[in-house]
Structures are given as structure tokens and as C-alpha cells.
Amino acid sequence: MEDTRTHTASPAEESRRSHHSSSTLPSEHDDEDIEKQRLHEGMAEGTKDQKDPDPNIVDWDGPDDPDNPQNFPRPRKWLITIILGLMTISVTFASSVFSTASTVTAKQFHVSSEVMVLGTSLFVLGYSFGPLFFGPLSELYGRKTPLFTGFFIFAIFQIPVAVAQNLQTIMICRFLGGLFASAPLAIVGGMLADIFGPVERGIAMAAFAGATFVGPVAGPIVGGFITMSYLGWRWTEYITAIMAFFFGAVGFVVVPETFGPTLLERRARRKRFETRNWALHARSEEMPVDIKHIATVYLVRPFLMLVREPILLLITLYMGFIYGFLYLCFEAYPVAFQELRGWNEGVGALPFIAVAVGVVFGCCVIVFFTKTRFQKVLEREGHIVPEERLIPMMIGGVLLPAGMFWFGWTSNPGIIWVPQVIAGGFLGAGILLIFMQGLNYIIDCYNINANSAIAANCFFRSGLGAGFPMFAIPMFHNLGVPWAMTLLGCLTAILFPVPILFYIYGSRIRSWSKFAPTD
């Protein structure tokens, strides 16, 4: 082997130096090349480039390299998925568990219940801003470091809320808790893409979506019984912290780094010291760390796409409304079951179980379509047209407004509670199907620009999720449960044609876009 000990810098290092000494901005085409390099390197098909004779490139050792996350044993992949799902449940559980303490804390701190709704809204508002930071960090430093850093900081911020002696501490720490809680929401989807192929990834993403919605649905159920027990409202935060620290510790041990470029950079670094060949490097190291490019992807391009892309705008509007409705339910259900039917905090939260059942049913529908229709299309044509994702979304578009009308007009205390509770199943299934398939459709449409599209989507929908609870109580008090739900059902029905429109014309609309690659 050639003696390279006299080398003072690797090609990657020279590339980084020359970049920092230049003031030239990369073009849009260069941006896409850089992003393609970092997003797609290290996938299952990412074997050594036969056209690249450079012996100093460190890559996977063929398509069956056991270090490639795509080649992890299936049991290990699903163990990772389960742990990531439990971590996701922890952060989404935290978003809603405090809602059951609104009445008690309002009396303790001498404010109205409407003011205490901020405890939920500010947490969800933190979801808006977190992905703007965690998305770039997951590309620069890999998945694991930003994921667990954010998750453990989220767990720590539950403690100040639990011991708070004033309203300001609660509100500030709830917002910061939500900010760092967004780490799993921003990163886990990418980790699942790192380890699963296209068909199995659809099933894993359905499980992830279930965790995203089961968590907030479980929050009021657990929180209601804790608040009315001798433990008191502060234990809603202690329980959340205990759960987060436990799942975080298990996850830190079980979940490995999964981002291909980061793993190859580590392999190259190790080989440089083993062989003393300082020219060894991963392909991603040839691309300089471009902060301006990262800022463009996560801070500038998302909002540019939101105003220029009709697919992203309308799907995001639909998803945002659905996400807002979910968090509105955490204020509306107590009105319907506790105020009107006279149930206590614990029993009054039990109807959320029906919503959770609906969420699970929605996951099963997605898995069914993935294993039947999607898999057959993939085997027959070699790829899946993004519009195929919209069929389950249309089903959800029927179930959700039907559940809203059903829930509203069975809310009279003179009517037995059973049909109103069952309506929650339709709500849960509709929410899951619309949200999950809308997210998948955006990812499939924008492909290499999916990070920017998801950043815009997350910012917008989390803003609505934070805003809807603020007007929930006044609306349900002034209009009554039947007419408030009727209004929401009509608005949801107005949005129903969105997936139909894109199912018919989506391919043509994508062909006009500069951000969506054509089929």
C-alpha cells in the first residue's frame, strides 16, 4: 500500500477549506445534488459505484453489508421501531395529559379555564419550531445524537412544570417541553426510511402514525384519573417524566445510528487510523457542510413551496385542520361528557378509548392497502404513483365528517351515551387516515425536496393544533355541542374534494412543479 503518512490533508478536508474561503453560493442545482448525496447515500441500493475508480472512497461492502441499516435482521428492525414508537407515544402523551388539569390549575392559580388551555396550546406550538432545528441536525450529525438530546431535554422540562409555584413557569416550560419533544416527530420518520424498504416502510410508518395519535388520546384518560386521585395534577407531569426517562434510557441502548452517510463517515474515520491512509473518505465528506444550504432547505424553501405548490398548500391545509380538530377534542370532550352528562374527570375521559380504537383501525386499513394494492403495483410496475396514497385518505374523508355529525347529534343527555362514544371511533379512524396518507403523499410527491415540504407542513399544522383549543370551550358553550360539531363537520366536508382533485389531476399538477420530480 502506498505510504500516505506525509499527506497533510484529505481531499475532503481540502474541499471544506476551499469552500470556506469562497463566497460563492451554490446554485439551486447544486443544492439538489448535495441533498441527494446526503439523503440517498447508504441505502440498500447504495453499493460501490462501478464507474468511480477512486480506491479511497469508503462505501458499503456490497449490497449485503451487515452494517447497512437496510440489512439489519427483521426482528432488530421491528424492535427499533417499537422503541421509537414508545418514545413517540411519550412526547405526544405529554402534549395532552395536562389538558385534564386545566380546571384544577385554573382555580389554584386564580385564572380562567380558557387561560389554562395555553398549557396545551403552547406545548403544541413548540412542535412548530422544533423541526426547523432537529431536521438540519439529523442531516449534519446523524439521527441518534439529536434525537436523544432533544428527548432527554424534553423529559427534564416535565419536572419544572410538576413543581411550579406560578403560572409563568408552567407556560414557559410547557412551550420548551414541546420544542424539544418535537425531536422524535421530526427524526423518527427518517430513521424508518433508513432501515426499511418501500413496502415494509409503509407498514412501519402506519405504526409510527398510530403512536403519534394514540399518545395524545391516552393523555386525557390517564391524566383524568391522576388529577382526581390523591396524587393530584402535578403527577401528570411526574408520570410523563418517568415514562420519558425510562423509554429514553432503553432506546439509547437499543437504537443505533441509522443514517447511511454518518455511518460511512465513521467507517472512513476508523479506516484512516487503522491503515494510516489519510486519503480515505466517504462520499458525503466530499460535499462541504453548507450552512446556507441547510438554512435554505429548512427555513426558506419550505415557505416558498407552501405558497407556490398547490398540492402542498391544500394537503397541508387539510392536514392542519384535522390536526387542530384532534387537539380541539381535548377541550370539547369534557364539555360533552363532564358538563352535559355529569361524568367525573376520570370517567369523562374514557370515551377517548373509542378514538384510540379508531386510530388502530385506521392503521389496519393502511397496512391492508400496503400489503395488497401498493405491493402489487410495486411488483408490477417497479414504482408506486404518489396518487395511490390518496385512496385511504378518501375513506378517511368520509369517516371523519360522518363521525362529527354523529357525535354532535347524539350529545343530548337524554340520549344514551353509547352512540356518542361509538362516534369517536369514526373520528379516530378518519383523523389517522387523512393525516397519515396526506403525509405519505407529500413525501412521495416531493421526493428529494420532502424535507422542505414536511418542514412547511409541520409548522403550519402545529400552529393550527395550538390555535384550535383556544376557541374550543367558547364555541361549544355558545353554539352547543350539536351545532359546534355540525359546523366542524361541514368545514371538513368542504375539504373532502382535495384528495379526489389530486387523485385525478395530481400527475398533471406535479408535471408543472419545479420541486416535484416527474414520474
The mean pLDDT values, 10 residues at a time, for the chain of 519 residues are 39 38 36 43 43 72 86 93 94 91 88 87 91 83 92 96 92 95 88 83 83 89 90 93 96 92 87 84 75 77 89 94 93 90 88 93 88 76 81 95 95 92 95 91 81 85 91 91 95 95 91 77
- Alpha carbons 256 and 163: distance in angstroms, whole number: 34
Q: Are 135 and 293 in contact (CB under 8 A)?
A: no
Query: Domain 63-258's class?
Result: mainly alpha
- Alpha carbons 33 and 26: distance in angstroms, whole number: 10
State residue 52's pLDDT score: 52
State residue 4's pLDDT score: 38
Which residue type, as a one-letter code, is found at position 196? F
Domain ranges across the chain: 63-258, 291-519
- Alpha carbons 355 and 215: distance in angstroms, whole number: 11
- Alpha carbons 135 and 295: distance in angstroms, whole number: 10
- Alpha carbons 123 and 177: distance in angstroms, whole number: 7
Q: Are 267 and 282 in contact (CB under 8 A)?
A: yes
Start-end of H helices in 309-351: 310-333, 345-349
Q: Are 125 and 462 in contact (CB under 8 A)?
A: yes
Q: What CATH code is assigned to 291-519?
A: 1.20.1250.20
Backbone angles phi, psi at 282, to 5 degrees: -85, 160
Q: What are the cell numbers at 363?
A: 392503521
- Alpha carbons 273 and 87: distance in angstroms, whole number: 36
Same fold: 63-258 with 291-519? yes
Q: What are the cell numbers at 270?
A: 476508523
Provide the 8-state DSSP code for 47: -
Kindly give, in sequence order, each residue whose CB lies less than 8 Å from that of residue 108, ignoring residues fewer than 6 positions away.
none
Q: Are 388 and 497 in contact (CB under 8 A)?
A: no
Q: What angle do CA 456, 458, 462 make, to 5 degrees?
A: 125
